[in-house]
Structure 1
Amino acid sequence: MWTSEHKPVVGVFGFSGCAGDQLRLVHMEDELVTLFTTAEIKFFHMAQSHQEVDHVDIALVEGSINTKKQLEELKEIREKSTFLVALGTCACFGGIQYLNEKDKAFEERFKHVYGSNIKKEDFTVGEAIPPQPLCNFVKVDAMVPGCPIEKDNLLPIYTKLIKGIKPQKYPAPVCVECKLEGNDCLLLHGIPCIGPVVSAGCGAICPSHNLPCVGCWGPYEAANYKSMLDKLEEIGVDKETALRKLKLFGGSKAEEELEKVIK
């Protein structure tokens, strides 16, 4: 447990992503003073000009890992931190850039984007590798999914961490929040919502506005992908489209589970 004499040291780090999760931290104007007074912020590139990092008690890490240099930096952060938190869907599950990684066609896509004259090892930011979530390389103590994250989900986790308590995962799909909001099920109206296999936490924002859940909070831990595929097929969604919807934000977990179902 930390004391008033020794505040927890926090570092905010970013890898491959849009930096929207770090920006969300900066935009938490009402809570920002509390965040900065309950902890000592040693590294936050977006919000500080002076950066230093030796050891951090809490590392908030955004983005997926896309280069060997990033991988080295991630491992260094892990070694220097007590708690490492994956911040946002890219860090938690790989994000959109992870889509189709399992098809092993990374080399082809790389050439399609950068041309055949550019080699992966020629990148000034480090040799490119297939994008992957943080947990594929290091131990992750907590996840805050979202694209971008919501402060209502980050703050309870942050509060536990500064007290030295490891937070638990959110144990429900989006459907639970839909029921709490009093929403009618969109699937019953033939709208391809994938809320049953997506982790809750967003407050069912999209379904509450009659828009189908696209899965930006990542996969629900106990997701039944076979039933989800069957339901999407039942309402007229072809298999290829259904798989793409489920993989969009699902990352490695969705890929692995869908592979089992398809086989």
Structure 2
Amino acid sequence: MTEDGPKAVVSRARFDRERRARQEAESLLEDKARELYTANRRLMRESEAVRAALAETEELRAREAAALRQQSILSEAMAVFSGKTSAAEALQDFLNTLQRAFGVFDACYLQASGSEVRITASARPEHIGLGLPVPNSLIVRPRRLSTLQLIAPGKVFPGRITDYASTIIVPLNISGEAAGALLLGCLQTGSFTATDLRLLKRLAGLAAQSLTALRDTRRNALLVSLIEGQRWSWFFDQFYAAQRSGMGFLSRGKFHVWFAIIINFVRGHQAVG
């Protein structure tokens, strides 16, 4: 018993030391595990914040690119109306620009013709004059369609119009003329977005104003030409009548009379013109 006593005491002390060391090690491991867990959670939050920031940056870049694209299309499309004297010529150039800017198969102008809708102008010459088997209600409001067959199921469409997989339609009405609309047709599906619809609506409004102004300017110019032509026609009629009445040879006095008439006529022309 005397021999076993010290051994038992030594073993117990060693056991206690090992247990305390193990507990300290376990406590240290737990502390490190908590630190690692906390650090990992912090890294996850920071990574999520970085991903959100990157996504926001990409979204901002996409919006900026879309805004630049819209501004470019607006500038290019409206520039075609500058320097034009004919509304028909301006409309044709406008449609050609829309076809190129939107990257579509066709850009055309539709007008109501009786109970049907007809293509009166198009970026594709072979489509001009074609009638579409759709009701007039097609062109009264903006819309996005996958295909025109949704409006007129079972109908046969002329040309390549039956192949359109994406279509966008926006009214473009000119005062005093039949109801009209712009149509963009693409052979690929999902080609148009809500942004494209809003952009085309804006373009249609600006184009309607420009086309109306060109038409009215041309009409006014023709009216002025007609009035001026009538004035000069009246003057020459009076002159030739005087010649026929015996003024074939103008004396000095008669010349002064006719010269005064001419001067007064020119002054009146300048005042009105």
Do Structure 1 and Structure 2 share a fold, with TM-score over 0.5? no
- Higher RCO, 1 or 2 (CA under 8 Å, sep at least 6)? 1
TM-score, normalised by the number of residues in structure 1: 0.21
Q: Which has the larger radius of gyration?
A: 2
